[in-house]
Amino acid sequence: MISPKRYWNTKHPKEPIIYGGRSLKTKNDRIDIDVRRMIWHEDVVIKKVVEKEILKKESFDETAWTCQKYVVKNMKYTDDKKTANMDEFWQFPNESLVTFQGDCEDGAILMASLMLNAGIPDWRVRVSAGMVSVGKGAATGGHAYVTYCRESDNNWVVLDWCYYEDSSTSVDKKPIFKDKKRYKEIWFSWNHVYSWSHKTIDVVEKLEDLIDDGKE
């Protein structure tokens, strides 16, 4: 048997994901970024917020839910044209903490950083970028959101703060990722350790036959 950490870290191919998500203040030329550098782990600034807002709870699941509710409550969805006068601009988590404005990936990056600094293991936390359904019919659009492997059953759930936020539902009651029909294929996902390239996340409902310890 393998641990859930190893299982999920090796489920999809690890690939370097480089994204032109930043630019210099004096130029509009996009700067390539290793997406892993956007999520801050073991950061003093983020840890102070975790402590001040009492985001760390008794369990990983409750901590994750508290971080989601914090971002939903404080972040105002604002497109990049208004915040940075650019079509695309990814904010570092400390920038989001100053402005509390940003679009989908900004809030997701902040949420993931808060979760990690609150003690949730890195393998349980990812930011995922992919497609979601938009309105009626088959229309889809790009979106970024946190996916979290909850400790209660080691299945992945969505922690969205804006588009389809469900912060009123506790983590243990959230439907698993594969049952969230509005969330479609994933282009890539990442945390501060790894980045993965994949079309979809395959979620198994039971891992009892594969894992030896759900707390690693």
> 121 falls in which pLDDT band (50, 70, 90)?
very high
Residues 135 and 111: their CA atoms lie apart, in Å, by: 25
β-pairing verdict for 156-159 and 195-197 = unpaired
Q: Find the largest Cα–Cα distance for the chain.
A: 55
Q: Among 19-23, 49-53, 113-117, 205-209, whose mean pLDDT is lowest?
A: 205-209
Q: Among 72-81, 85-94, 145-154, 192-201, whose mean pLDDT is lowest?
A: 192-201
pTM, two decimals, is 0.90
Yes or no: say if 177 and 155 are a contact pair by the CB < 8 Å rule: yes
Is residue 143 in some structural domain? yes
Yes or no: say if 115 and 171 are a contact pair by the CB < 8 Å rule: no
Average pLDDT over residues 131-159: 89
Nearest CA among 67, 96, 92 for reference residue 165? 67
Is residue 207 in some structural domain? no
Per-residue confidence (pLDDT) for residue 157, from 0 to 100: 97
Q: Which residue has the tokens 């790009």?
A: 142
Is residue 203 in some structural domain? no
Q: Among 47-61, 130-144, 159-173, 194-208, whose mean pLDDT is lowest?
A: 194-208
Is residue 82 in some structural domain? yes
Copy the structure tokens of residue 31. Answer: 């700067």
Is residue 193 in some structural domain? yes
Domain extent at residue 14: 4-197
Yes or no: say if 44 and 94 are a contact pair by the CB < 8 Å rule: no
- Which amino acid is it at 153? D
Is residue 209 in some structural domain? no
Average pLDDT over residues 20-43: 87
Q: Which CATH number covers residue 88? A: 3.10.620.30
In total, how many domains does the chain have? 1
At 185, give phi and psi (nearest 5°): -65, 145
